[in-house]
Amino acid sequence: MVKVAVLGYGTVGSGVVQVIKDNNELVSKRSGTEVDVKYILDLREFPGDPYESLVIHDFNTIVADPEIGVVCETMGGVGAAYAFTKQCLEAGKSVCTSNKELVAKHGPELLEIAKANNCSYLFEASVGGGIPIIRPIMDALCAEKIESILGILNGTTNYILTKMEQEGADFDAVLKEAQALGYAERDPSADIEGHDACRKIAILSSLMTGKNVDSEKVYTEGITKITAEDFAFAKEAGYTIKILGVSEAKEDGSTLIYVSPFLINKAHPLAMVNDVFNAIFVTGNMVGDTMYYGKGAGKLPTASAVVADVIDAARHIGKNIPCYWDAQSAKLAELDDVSHKFFVRIKSEKLYELENLFPGGEELDMAFGGQRVYITPEVNEKEFRTAAEKLGDGLLGRIRVYG
Amino acid sequence: MVKVAVLGYGTVGSGVVQVIKDNNELVSKRSGTEVDVKYILDLREFPGDPYESLVIHDFNTIVADPEIGVVCETMGGVGAAYAFTKQCLEAGKSVCTSNKELVAKHGPELLEIAKANNCSYLFEASVGGGIPIIRPIMDALCAEKIESILGILNGTTNYILTKMEQEGADFDAVLKEAQALGYAERDPSADIEGHDACRKIAILSSLMTGKNVDSEKVYTEGITKITAEDFAFAKEAGYTIKILGVSEAKEDGSTLIYVSPFLINKAHPLAMVNDVFNAIFVTGNMVGDTMYYGKGAGKLPTASAVVADVIDAARHIGKNIPCYWDAQSAKLAELDDVSHKFFVRIKSEKLYELENLFPGGEELDMAFGGQRVYITPEVNEKEFRTAAEKLGDGLLGRIRVYG
């Protein structure tokens, strides 16, 4: 018998309670012991809720209750969530979380506390929502040296980019539509500026390298500058536009990590990943490419991943499930040293100058509202930036080309 | 310290030794103990092989050696492999295998013996080659009621179908090319007749239902009847052709399981899975659709999956890793009761008769060498078969349409 406490009765928290209750027979069978929810911690009351009677307001009740073996932290944020997680782990209670911000910020410390107290800190839901990605990396690919991780890691931006492509619409219009549908937050900046994807690729990179990747040091570019014109040109040229998190192990032991929009060839499997779906490519030195695909967010997919962790924790009460993520900082490679092709949207009269700056690229035979586009040959990031400055406001937009 | 014995030094077996040796530091770290290969069992000698000195010919040496904690069965077949696996498990040694035939045939019995002897029978490599699929189902999706599993499960047939589509070539010609390249066996029947995919979907269905699915009872149709004409018509209509293994939980508690070629809309993610790549969709009641993609076969991908199992076994020496697959037979649904659209290729003069048999379908405005095609409305399998018989040899081909 393992009793569970859920911290935060919001979207994910209520989903966790629902999955444990609705799939209870299965959850208990797979845990090898009866599993049930004993407490729901929230500041609010939930009159009329079927689990109203489980709601409590005092966190100390949970820490002090020896029956509680597993705690689900679905509060979010790095304040109370951090303090509560620490106290639970110090009390030997495993914590399962969907809180990517906390995992990205304090992962190694919390893993260390879990280890010292013979319990586990598990965070499958923090990266892929419902897509199993932490476990494949930790377990199924554990015989691999992982060489790269690359993926569409944020459902909101992928929804926006998909709609922009399909409807030829502008960023602002689609963002408003996404907000109205609940696919984007009222303050959408964490998604559209790429911070959410950045935290996720930082977590994945930490697991890939075994060292700590500070998400605040990762170059991150959002999608706010992508326009309907970019899509019109990209489409004609056989591309779509996606925002990707990228992590590549370099031969010198450093890791190149960044988040950026990319032009992707329509024939690439990632080009088919639309709407709120996410997909993550993991490349190992033995297995080659593998891909994981599914809904990266949403109440029940995320809750299901939290409960998978609850089952794992329940199977290992009194034991630490190991996670190879040290506090030591991973060495990050400089983006400046990397080369890409760049898709450049430019005022027509500047095309000649652009071609002279980056000769040997691909001039696309399209013109639109006084604009032209040109795909440069592979050029170093720093060189591109320096040269592009010469174009001044003639340069209307530039997007990295993947592959 | 865990010592490993490898049974069979063929393609996969030599890959297992290579992965354990080349990634040794990582394999040992993730196992939480030093892992190394002590014996390689094979009837042959391997003069000049770097691990020549580990080769032995007497299986009893392995069973009798208390240092051996984990055995990799990479022999194949259901004769000696079955006897050796049983003896190892009875001696408390965990067995990790890539042998889908043995897992499909004797899975529940071997799992039971493992449980009784506090060791594990692990078979990640038996279904997806290098694609993690057993663990996601067993662990990451363990809070889910899995509703369906659907996938491209065989690399050889997917390679053949991809080439047929891309080159407009005939089945026989592409098969010969695949054999010359080593992508198809000299006796290709297990692949092209669908038996390999059948064993894999039977194993996945057993894990999905928790009961035993006898692969010999699963309706299986291969790709030998697919022609260049089928592809020409399908392509024009916006489809490609893939052979899929399908498993669907029905409301009455039965499971519909079969292997068949399908027309798939070009916009579906599975249509993008080409060459020797495999992809498996798993749909859960909470998470919705998830997909796993990678190389379904090949020396190192398969070996990597075996070694991931070795690491798991090494972490759990003296303990059984549970697997929910009882000996009790799963109830199979009748394919006859299922409805599909059918893509029918027919002699031109019979088109009118076909349309009268299945009115309301889609007549494609294409003709080719005295042939026409017609897509029926959804029609019950049994009704289709009965009606189609009336067309005699006028019916040149028929393929189920997916979705």
Torsion from C-alpha of B99, B216, B401, B342, nearest 10 degrees: 150
For residue A228, what is the domain's CATH number? Answer: 3.30.360.10
Name the least confident of A69-83, A187-201, A363-377. A363-377
Q: Both B53 and B82 in a single domain?
A: yes
Residue contact A135–B130, C-beta within 8 A = no
Inside any domain, residue B91 = yes
Which residue in the list A3, A163, A200, A347 is annotated as catalytic? A200
Residue B116 CB neighbours (<10 A) = 12
Inside any domain, residue B321 = no
In whole angstroms, give the CA distance from residue B38 to residue B57.
13
Q: Both A146 and A290 in a single domain?
A: yes
Residue contact B143–A272, C-beta within 8 A = no
Nearest to B287 among A27, A285, A294 (CB): A294
Helix, strand, coil distribution of chain B in percent, nearest 5: 40, 25, 30
Active site residue A29: no
What is the model's pLDDT at position B185? 87
Which residue in A has a C-alpha nearest to residue B139's C-alpha?
A308
Q: Identify from B18, B139, B150 which residue to disrupt to test chain A contact, counting A C-beta atoms within 10 A and taking the largest count.
A: B139
pLDDT greater than 90 at residue B60: yes
Residues of chain A contacting residue B143, judged by C-beta atoms under 8 Å apart: 19-20, 23, 26-27, 30, 304-305, 307-308, 310-311
Residues of chain B contacting residue A269, judged by C-beta atoms under 8 Å apart: 269, 272-273, 293
A173 HSE (CA, 13 A, CB side): 9
Q: What is the mean pLDDT of residues B110-123?
A: 98
Boundary residue ending a domain (B244, B263, B294)? B294
Residues of chain A contacting residue B147, judged by C-beta atoms under 8 Å apart: none
Q: Give residue B44's identity as a one-letter amino acid code.
A: R
Q: Both A17 and A111 in a single domain?
A: yes
Q: Both B168 and B228 in a single domain?
A: yes
What is the model's pLDDT at position A66? 97
Inside any domain, residue B178 = yes
What is the model's pLDDT at position B140? 80
Inside any domain, residue A345 = yes
Which residue in A has a C-alpha nearest to residue B122's C-alpha?
A140
Shortest distance between the Cα of A7 and any Cα of chain B, in A, equals 19
Q: Both A273 and A303 in a single domain?
A: no
Residue contact B135–A140, C-beta within 8 A = yes
The structure's pTM equals 0.92
Q: Both B96 and B235 in a single domain?
A: no
Q: How far is CA B48 from CA B10, B14, B51, B52, B53, in A?
A: 15, 14, 8, 7, 10
Q: Identify from B287, B310, B323 which residue to disrupt to test chain A contact, counting A C-beta atoms within 10 A and taking the largest count.
A: B287
Residue indicated by tokens 């591309």: A239
Burial of B183 (C-beta count, 10 Å sphere; 0-12/13-18/19+)? buried
Q: pLDDT tens across B362-387, in order?
A: 988 888 889 999 999 999 999 999 99
Nearest to B130 among A287, A294, A300 (CB): A287
Q: pLDDT tens across A239-298, in order?
A: 999 999 999 999 999 999 999 999 999 988 899 899 989 999 999 998 999 999 998 878
Q: Both B117 and B181 in a single domain?
A: no
Beta strands in B141-203 (DSSP E): 146-152
What is the model's pLDDT at position A268? 87
Inside any domain, residue A42 = yes
Q: pLDDT tens across B190-245, in order?
A: 999 999 999 999 999 999 999 999 999 999 999 999 999 999 999 999 999 999 99
What is the model's pLDDT at position B128? 82
What is the model's pLDDT at position B16? 97
Shortest distance between the Cα of A383 and any Cα of chain B, in A, equals 36
Residue contact B284–A307, C-beta within 8 A = no
Inside any domain, residue B47 = yes
What is the model's pLDDT at position B297? 80
For residue A186, give its domain range. 142-295
What is the model's pLDDT at position A89? 98
- Alpha helices (H) along B77-154: 80-90, 100-116, 125-128, 134-135
Q: Both A151 and A268 in a single domain?
A: yes
Name the nearest CA neighbour of A245 among A209, A198, A191. Answer: A198
Name the nearest CA neighbour of A266 among A401, A163, A378, A131. Answer: A401
Q: Both B175 and B234 in a single domain?
A: yes
Q: pLDDT-based confidence at A397, cuts 50/70/90?
A: very high
Nearest to B140 among A132, A141, A286 (CB): A132
Name the nearest CA neighbour of A82 among A69, A99, A94. Answer: A99
Residue contact B23–A311, C-beta within 8 A = no
Which residue in B has a C-alpha nearest to residue A28's C-alpha?
B143
Boundary residue ending a domain (A282, A315, A348)? A315
Mean pLDDT, rounded, of chain B: 94
Inside any domain, residue A364 = yes
Boundary residue ending a domain (B315, B349, B376)? B315
For residue A119, what is the domain's CATH number? Answer: 3.40.50.720
Q: pLDDT tens across A355-386, in order?
A: 999 999 998 888 888 999 999 999 999 999 99
Q: pLDDT tens across A155-168, in order?
A: 999 999 999 999 99
Q: Identify from A115, A134, A287 which residue to disrupt to test chain B contact, counting B C-beta atoms within 10 A and taking the largest count.
A: A287
Length of chain B: 403
Residue contact A142–B308, C-beta within 8 A = yes
Residues of chain B contacting residue A72, judged by C-beta atoms under 8 Å apart: none
Name the least confident of A294-298, A337-341, B319-323. A294-298
Q: Both A289 and A267 in a single domain?
A: yes
Q: Both B240 and B214 in a single domain?
A: yes
Nearest to B272 among A20, A269, A305 (CB): A269
Q: Both B54 and B161 in a single domain?
A: no
Inside any domain, residue B364 = yes
How far out from the chain centre does Cα B330 lie? 19
Percent of chain B residues past pLDDT 70, beyond the cut: 100
Q: What is the mean pLDDT of residues A15-29?
A: 95
Name the nearest CA neighbour of A29 among B112, B326, B280. Answer: B326
Name the least confident of A130-139, A184-193, B1-10, B42-51. A130-139
Q: What is the mean pLDDT of residues B60-76?
A: 97
Count of the separate structural domains present in chain A = 3
